[in-house]
Amino acid sequence: MKRTLLVSIALLAASGAQPEHDPAVALVSAELLARPRSLALAPSRTSPVFRAREGEWQFNLHSYLAHHDGKFWAVWSSGRVDEDSPTQLIRYATSVDGHRWSESRILADDPDGPEGPGSWIARGIYVDHRGKLTALNAYREPTRQTSQGPEVWFNLRLERFEFEGGQWLQRGTEIEDCMSNYPPRAVAGWLFLTCRNSFMQMFTARRAIAGGGGWELRRLPGEPPHEFMSEPSWIVDPEGAVHLFFRDGRRSKFLYRSVSRDGGETWPAPVRTNYPDAGSKNFAGRLSNGWYYLINNPNPDSRDPLGISFSRDGWKFGRPLALRSGAPEQRYPGRAKNRFSFQYPHAIEKNGSLWVIYSTNKEDIEISEYRIADFRLENQ
């Protein structure tokens, strides 16, 4: 057996072929994140986008960032006290330099008034193929019990809004029964995003970039206890494989990954990786210098710190740093609000920096600028 293995390795080396990547190995070494509170802190400049105030809008989460028409644009969900309350609406703010932000305005108001059951959840902001600044927001009503089990997001639909003539206009339903996670991005000539339906089942979605047809939704495979995937982000590696990184709804405290090798058309069941996670939303992307990054909460016991790691090929990540560490005390308690926490990151690259927007304690929206040169990736 040993001789056979050695011969196989020798043949691989002689042919120049590379061994198959293992999707379960997302972290170069478990030791790198064994002590997440001890991670070195990346140099940054941090600024407030929106700060909760006593008696006003004290729940703020689901923040996203875009750059359009010479300005940064931020959107997020905003509620009075509790997460996903019936009064929840969508706010936005703008900034020329990314640090001095305008007063927030309402992008999508409470859809049916304070007595109605409906509310909005922010799902992203981006510039579409026509150059239109676009926001996606999910409409939902409270959980109801059905013969199939709890329907978590009753009457769920993903709605499209466009900024035109100095105002946000609702343009109709983008996808029925879809709680997306990030704005669509181009993958292998298609627009790609992910959805969970009202029963929290995970789907991938593709459509033609020019919008000539509807979205093709496909259920993500997976058997218990590996079927309850949540809030994925994705990258495309140099070979064209598409990687989805999932939060595990079964709370294994590790990220899961599924890799499509046909441009996102088909997907294998996700596998648990060796990358620790608090059980929160992650964000993965690629810098203009070719390096991939993965942002998450790598402390299994807490959403502090907010961390980042880097990869050359999108398979194995290393060189971890803390983006934020030592969260302040929460000022305003509420249902499902995390104390001492930084969470739900989204990031874009602009002017030589990585800009990361996130929620602190689910009450303040903050943004941090990281000079890409300070990551010192060019020396690795």
DSSP string, 230-269: EEEEEEE-TTS-EEEEEEETT--SEEEEEEESSTTS--PP
In a domain, 52, yes or no: yes
- pLDDT of 226 reads 86
- Cβ neighbours of residue 139 under 8 Å, at least 6 residues apart? 111, 118, 119, 120, 155, 156, 157, 159
The Cα–Cα gap between 339 and 341 comes to: 5
- pLDDT of 211 reads 66
Mean pLDDT of 204-214: 87
pLDDT tens readout for residues 99-114:
999 999 999 999 999 8
pLDDT tier, 379 (very low <50, low <70, confident <90, very high otherwise): low
The Cα–Cα gap between 331 and 315 comes to: 39
The Cα–Cα gap between 325 and 303 comes to: 9
pLDDT tens readout for residues 24-50:
999 999 999 999 999 999 999 999 999
pLDDT tens readout for residues 306-340:
999 999 999 999 999 999 999 999 999 999 999 99
- Domain holding 194, by residue range, is 23-379
Among candidate residues 139, 133, 225, 232, the one with its CA nearest the CA of residue 177: 139
- pLDDT of 213 reads 80
In a domain, 8, yes or no: no
- Cβ neighbours of residue 294 under 8 Å, at least 6 residues apart? 26, 245, 275, 282, 283, 284, 308, 309, 310, 311, 317
Residue 142 phi/psi, 5-degree rounding, is -60, 160
Sign of CA dihedral 17, 19, 23, 26: negative
353-360 and 364-371: which strand pairing? antiparallel
The Cα–Cα gap between 359 and 354 comes to: 17
In a domain, 372, yes or no: yes
pLDDT tier, 118 (very low <50, low <70, confident <90, very high otherwise): very high
- pLDDT of 137 reads 98
Measure the CA dihedral 50/344/286/23, to 10°. 180
In a domain, 277, yes or no: yes
In a domain, 6, yes or no: no
In this structure, the number of other CB atoms found within 10 A of the CB of residue 9 comes to 11
Counting every residue, how long is the chain? Answer: 380
Q: How many CA atoms lie within 13 A of 179 on its CB side?
A: 24
Question: Which structure tokens are listed for 67?
Answer: 């750059």
Q: Kindly list the strands in the beta sheet with 59-68, ordered across the sheet, starting from the edge strand earlier in the chain.
A: 59-68, 71-79, 89-95, 105-108
Q: How many domains is the chain built from?
A: 1
In a domain, 17, yes or no: no
In a domain, 61, yes or no: yes
Among candidate residues 333, 349, 329, 350, the one with its CA nearest the CA of residue 341: 329
Please check the confidence at residue 125 and state whether its pLDDT lies above 70: yes
Answer for the pair 114, 175: CB distance below 8 angstroms, yes or no. no
Question: Which structure tokens are listed for 109?
Answer: 């108001």
Answer for the pair 12, 19: CB distance below 8 angstroms, yes or no. yes
Long-range contacts of 182-185 (CB under 8 A, 24+ apart): 182/64, 182/123, 182/124, 182/233, 182/283, 182/346, 183/64, 183/66, 183/123, 183/124, 183/125, 183/126, 183/134, 183/136, 184/126, 185/234
Surface-to-core class of residue 26, CB atoms within 10 Å of its CB (0-12 exposed, 13-18 middle, 19+ buried): buried
Please check the confidence at residue 6 and state whether its pLDDT lies above 60: no
Mean pLDDT of 183-187: 95
pTM confidence score:
0.94
In a domain, 1, yes or no: no
Say which CATH number the domain at 167 has: 2.120.10.10
The Cα–Cα gap between 81 and 295 comes to: 27
